[in-house]
């Protein structure tokens, strides 16, 4: 068992800071890149409905569970299980898998973020703007198929995020996200309003809000659940780590609920910003991951002041991605710091160096390594698939089992009521029922069906 107790732990300092950092983690490329792309590919509102159900039955409960465990243990994702259940080392495997997932997610996430950062500059110089989708797709292709540019932008992102992480939890993560989150909402609202004034607004909205359930298969349900985990940053210890920086008087269930609702609002606003424009200018909503990079510049370049809105859009993306990447990188950094006593600088430097290595396999998967495939997928797609469709749901499943069956109701009641200070018995009962029965069964069934095992 560990004896390494932290001397003095940094933490979030204000209630607003807690919300900003946690929401900053949830809001990310998931909202503006994955959510619209997956919604467009999988039948619009029907997909959103399944996504919402997965969020309520699995994503949100796991989020509450993670924050609760982290705050109780005041430890990183791995050490948390050792502290809370010292008799059985094997539970720490959840945390170990989480640290692994952090690297896999960041490997492809920093690459997409790199494209977004690059597009801020390219859009500002006007080089990616054209009303002709052939030109915008060629511009995107030339970026992602250029190994030098891909690696360069990924390294920029890694150094940028690493630079903030080094500053610490309160001075780095909290103060950055506290400043950036309001800007993000402002930009999103502006773009959303602009988009709603377009002639195709009605068609775009009806696509977003009119369900077509014929598209929903087992694999689609798994994708929706994977997105629910990915969106709320749960299943790999991010929320355990952030929970460990929560104040003891923070109301965890309410915080999680608020973050979930705000995050959903951002996703819907992103959809409202994108789909009316897509329909107005005759694009297909099924463009997939390239929706953001090919369609957006083409679509926006056709509307008045479009060039300004395109730059704003990618600035928005860069802000969103930053808060999310901070939270993922904090998982290994917190672990190295607490477990091995590394200084924050050393822990961050090591993490960034490792990521530059693993990340390059994702960055090069559209160029040098395009032919290198495992299970029929490039490294980029493999990391994405493995984490969202396997590791996060599995992590979430075991966290539910740990909380619902091992840690038990009494400790949950004490932890979530802040040792009796909060009057939230009914809420806790509902949570406990879901974590013990509903969530694990839902996750397992969706996982097995989605992977065609049953
Ligand atoms: N939620 C973020 C997004 O939607 C991504 C993210 C941050 C994440 N931390 C995570 C995903 C932890 C999985 C696990 O972009």
Q: What are the structural domain ranges in the chain?
A: 15-450
CA 333/CA 274 separation, integer angstroms: 35
Distances 250 to 247, 253, 256 between C-alpha atoms, Å: 5, 9, 11
Please work out, in degrees rounded to the nearest 5, the angle formed at the alpha carbon of residue 288 by the alpha carbons of 105 and 25. Answer: 35
Atom of ligand 1 nearest to the CA of 321: 15
Backbone angles phi, psi at 384, to 5 degrees: -60, -50
Contact 351, 162 (CB under 8 A): yes
C-beta 26 within 6 A of ligand 1 = yes
CA of 423 to the centre of ligand 1 (A): 31
Determine contact, residues 44/285, Cβ cutoff 8 Å. yes
Q: Which of 64, 30, 454, 397 has its CA nearest to residue 224? A: 30
Closest listed residue to residue 36, CA positions, set 144, 184, 188, 156: 188
Q: Under CATH, what is the fold of the domain 15-450?
A: Amino acid/polyamine transporter I (1.20.1740)
Q: Which residues of 216-245 are buried (b: 16+ CB within 10 A; e: fewer)?
A: beeebbbbbbbbbbbbbbbbbbbbbbbbbb
This prediction has a pTM of 0.95
Candidate of 231, 318, 387 to mutate for ligand 1, largest count of ligand atoms within 8 Å of Cβ: 231
- Looking at ligand 1, which atom is closest to the CA of residue 235? 14
Please state, in angstroms and rounded to a whole number, the distance separating the CA atoms of residues 299 and 211: 24
Indicate if ligand 1 lies below 6 Å from the C-beta of 230: yes
Please report the pLDDT score of residue 295 as a whole number. Answer: 78
Cβ of 22 closer than 6 Å to ligand 1, yes or no, is no
pLDDT digits (tens), the chain, 454 positions:
444 554 578 999 999 999 999 999 999 999 998 998 899 889 889 999 999 999 999 999 999 999 999 999 999 999 999 999 999 999 999 999 999 999 999 999 999 999 999 999 999 998 888 888 788 889 999 999 999 999 999 999 999 999 999 999 999 999 999 999 999 999 989 888 888 888 889 998 998 888 889 989 999 999 999 999 999 999 999 999 999 999 999 999 999 999 999 999 999 999 988 888 888 877 888 877 777 888 788 877 877 888 888 899 899 999 999 999 999 999 999 999 999 999 999 999 999 999 999 999 999 999 999 999 999 999 999 999 999 999 999 999 999 999 999 999 999 999 999 999 999 999 999 999 999 999 999 999 999 999 989 8
pLDDT on residue 2: 45
Tell me 90's DSSP state. G
* Distance (Å, whole) CA 150 – CA 44: 31
The pLDDT value recorded for residue 375 is 93
What's the chain's Rg over C-alpha atoms?
21
Residue 223 to residues 39, 73, 113, 446, Cα–Cα distance (Å): 10, 32, 21, 9
Give the C-alpha distances (Å, rounded to integers) separating 214 from 44, 142, 197, 211.
Answer: 11, 36, 31, 9
- Grouping H, G, I as helix, E, B as strand and the rest as coil, residue 131 is coil
Cβ count within 10 A of residue 272: 23
- How many helices (H) and strands (E) would you count in the chain? 22, 0
Ligand 1 within 6 A of 328 CB? Answer: yes
Task: Report how far residue 217's alpha carbon sits from residue 13's, in angstroms, rounded to the nearest whole number.
Answer: 45
Two tokens at 256? Answer: 């999680």
The 3-state secondary structure of 198-250 reads CCCHHHHHHHHHCECHHHCCHHHHHHHHHHHHHHCCCCCCHHHHHHCCCCCCC
pLDDT at 100: 96
pLDDT score for 268? 94
Residue 151 contacts residue 361 (beta carbons within 8 Å) = no
Nearest CA to ligand 1 atom 14: 233
Whole-angstrom distance, CA of residue 165 vs CA of residue 158: 10
Say if residues 250 and 179 touch (Cβ distance below 8 Å).
no
Q: Decide if 443 contacts 58 (C-beta within 8 A).
A: yes
Q: Is the dihedral of CA 271, 447, 109, 92 positive or negative?
A: positive
- Cα 200 to chain centroid distance, Å, stands at 30
Q: Residue 136, Cβ neighbours under 10 Å: how many? A: 22
Task: Give the model's pLDDT for residue 221.
Answer: 96
Instruction: Copy the structure tokens of residue 125.
Output: 């110089």
State which of 21, 24, 30, 289 you would mutate to test the pocket of ligand 1, scoring each by most atoms of that ligand within 8 A of its C-beta.
30
pLDDT the model gives residue 233: 98
Cα–Cα dist 22/3, whole Å: 29
The residue length of the chain stands at: 454
């Amino acid at each position: 068992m560990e004896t390494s107790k932290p001397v003095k732990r940094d933490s979030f300092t204000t209630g607003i800071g807690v919300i900003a950092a946690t929401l900053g983690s949830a809001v990310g490329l998931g909202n503006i890149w994955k959510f619209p792309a997956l919604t467009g590919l999988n039948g619009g509102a029907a997909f959103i409905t399944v996504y919402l159900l997965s969020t309520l039955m699995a994503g949100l409960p796991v989020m509450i569970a993670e924050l609760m465990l982290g705050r109780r243990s005041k430890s990183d994702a791995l050490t948390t299980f050792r502290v809370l259940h010292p008799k059985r080392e094997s539970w720490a495997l959840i945390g170990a898998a989480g640290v692994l997932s952090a690297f896999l997610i960041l490997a492809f996430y920093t690459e997409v973020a790199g494209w977004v950062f690059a597009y801020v500059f390219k859009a500002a110089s006007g080089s990616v703007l054209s009303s002709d989708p052939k030109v915008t797709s060629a511009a995107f292709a030339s970026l992602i198929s250029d190994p030098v540019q891909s690696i360069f932008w990924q390294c920029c992102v890694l150094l940028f995020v690493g630079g903030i992480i080094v500053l610490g939890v309160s001075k780095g993560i909290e103060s950055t996200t506290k400043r950036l989150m309001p800007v993000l909402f402002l930009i999103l609202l502006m773009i959303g309003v602009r988009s709603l004034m377009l002639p195709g607004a009605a068609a775009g909205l009806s696509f977003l809000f009119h369900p077509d359930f014929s598209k929903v298969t087992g694999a689609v349900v798994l994708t929706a659940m994977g997105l629910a985990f990915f969106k709320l940053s749960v299943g790999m210890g991010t929320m355990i780590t952030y929970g460990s920086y929560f104040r003891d008087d923070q109301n965890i269930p309410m915080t999680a609920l608020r973050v979930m609702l705000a995050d959903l609002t951002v996703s819907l606003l992103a959809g409202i910003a994108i789909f009316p424009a897509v329909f107005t200018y005759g694009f297909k909503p099924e463009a997939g991951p390239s929706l953001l990079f090919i369609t957006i510049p083409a679509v926006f370049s056709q509307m008045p002041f479009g060039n300004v809105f395109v730059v704003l859009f990618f600035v928005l993306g860069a802000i969103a991605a930053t808060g999310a990447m901070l939270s993922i990188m904090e998982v290994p950094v917190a672990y190295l710091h607490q477990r091995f006593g590394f200084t924050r600088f050393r822990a961050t430097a090591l993490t960034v160096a490792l990521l530059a290595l693993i990340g390059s396999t994702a960055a090069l998967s559209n160029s040098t390594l395009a032919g290198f495939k495992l299970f029929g997928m490039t490294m980029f797609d493999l990391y994405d698939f493995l984490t969202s469709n396997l590791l996060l749901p599995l992590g979430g499943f075991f966290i539910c089992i740990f909380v619902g069956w091992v840690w038990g109701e009494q400790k949950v009641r004490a932890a979530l009521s802040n040792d009796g200070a909060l009057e939230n018995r009914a809420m806790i009962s509902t949570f406990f029922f879901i974590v013990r029965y509903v969530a694990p069964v839902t996750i397992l069934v969706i996982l097995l069906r989605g992977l065609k095992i049953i």
